[in-house]
Amino acid sequence: MKRHAILIANSQFPEHPNLPNLETPENDVKQLEKVLKDSTRDFLVSTAINKASHEIGKVLALHLNQKSDPNDLFLIYYSGHGILESDLSLSLAAKDSDPANPASFYLFENVMKTVEQSRLKRVVILLDCCYSGAAVSKISPILESKNSTLVSEEEAEVSLSKRGFKEQTRSTLELTSNETDFELKSAETGIWILTASSASQPAYAEKGDMGVFTRFLVSGFEGHALTTSNDEENPYGAITINGLFRHIHRGIQTTGIIQTPRIYSKDASHPDMVIAEIISLVGEHHSVEFHLWDESSLLENMVPTYLLDNKFRFLHWNASFQALIAEPLSLMRGAHVETFLKQLVNWDEVAQRSARDFPPEGSKYPRVHVESLKLQTSRWGYVDFTKVASHVRDKEANWCVMLNIDYAEREKEIWGKLKETMTSDETWSLYAKNYDSIIASFSENKELVKKVVERIGRRENCLDIGAGTGSTTIEMLKTLESRKVHAIDMNYFMLKCLHQKVLENDAYQTRTRITHSDCLSALTSLDKNGKFLELNDEYDAVVMMNVFFALEKPVECLKAIHRVLKPGGIIVISTSDETTDIEALFRTIKQELKMKKWDATIKEAYEDALSRNREMEKIIKQYTEKNVRSYLREAGFIVNRQIERKVYVGCVFIMIASK
Instruction: Give pLDDT, residue 158.
Output: 47
Query: Taking CA 386 as the corner, what is the angle to CA 381 and CA 391, rounded to the nearest 5 degrees?
Result: 135
- Note the pLDDT of residue 634: 95
Residues of the chain with pLDDT under 50: 139-158, 161, 176-185, 230-235, 279-283, 293-296, 526-530, 532
Model pLDDT, residue 222:
77
pLDDT at 148: 35
The confidence score (pLDDT) of residue 404 equals: 92
- Residues 582-597 pLDDT 10s: 999 999 999 999 998 8
- DSSP symbols for 305-373: EEEE-TTSBEEEE-HHHIIIIIHHHT--TTSBTHHHHTTSTTHHHHHHHHHHHS-TT-S---SEEEEEE
Whole-angstrom distance, CA of residue 147 vs CA of residue 426 = 75
What phi and psi, each to the nearest 5 degrees, are found at residue 530? 85, 10
Query: What is the reported pLDDT for 363?
Result: 58
What pLDDT is attached to residue 157?
44
Domains of the chain: 3-279 (3.40.50.1460), 296-409 (3.30.450.20), 422-658 (3.40.50.150)
Any idea how long the chain is?
A: 659
**What local confidence, expressed as pLDDT, does residue 85 receive?**
85
Residue 238, beta-bridge partner list: 227, 277
Per-residue model confidence (pLDDT) at position 50: 95
